[in-house]
Structures are given as C-alpha cells and as structure tokens.
Amino acid sequence: MRYLILGLLFPLTVSAQQTAYKAVMCADTEKVITALTGKDYKEKPFWMGVDQKDHTYSIFYNKETTGWTIIEFKGKTACILGAGEESQLSRELATKH
C-alpha cells in the first residue's frame, strides 16, 4: 500500500517542478576581481571549483564584514551568481580559518 501511495505522489511532484531563469551580471574577469578585492568590498577568494564544462566557480569572502560573492568564470568573462551579507561559516570551517 505504501508503494502505491508513493507511486501516486511521485508523478505529481515531478510535474509540479518549474524552470526558473535568473538574470546575472557579467563583466570582464579582471574588472570583477579588482572590484571585489578592492577597498569597497575587500573580499578574498575562499573556495574554487571546476565543473565538467570547464567553468570555474569561486566564493569570495570578507571575514570582517561576512560579505560574500559567488562567481562563475569562463575565459575572460566573470558572472556574479549571488552576493550578500551576514553569512556564517560552518563550525568546522570557522575553527580551521
């Protein structure tokens, strides 16, 4: 009986999914890095990773203000995927840095 109920719910969950698109700001990589690491934001690269399409992702972070920015790099273009304030590191990361 449980499998029948799950089988009935699963198609409803899948059909309820929607695709959303979000505008992102992109600019020359050098300009983006200069702005983030400059006097206004003072963020530093905290983490970097590369996906299967050879795009590089990075999180820039300011320890004093807890400001952060997530960037996607491809060639000479950098796109800001998100940014904010008042972030919090996990306890594990906070004790190591």
Q: Can you give the pLDDT at residue 53?
A: 93
Q: Can you give the pLDDT at residue 18?
A: 84
Question: Are the beta carbons of 84 and 62 closer than 8 angstroms?
Answer: no
Could you tell me the residue ranges of all domains in the chain?
28-87
Residue burial 26-44, b: 16+ Cβ < 10 Å; e: rest? eeebeebbeebeeeebebe
Q: Can you give the pLDDT at residue 6?
A: 41
pLDDT per residue, tens digit, the chain (97 aa), is: 444 344 444 454 555 678 888 888 999 999 999 999 999 999 999 999 999 999 999 999 999 999 999 999 999 999 999 999 988 878 776 676 5
Q: Can you give the pLDDT at residue 2?
A: 41
Would the pTM count as exceeding 0.85? Answer: no
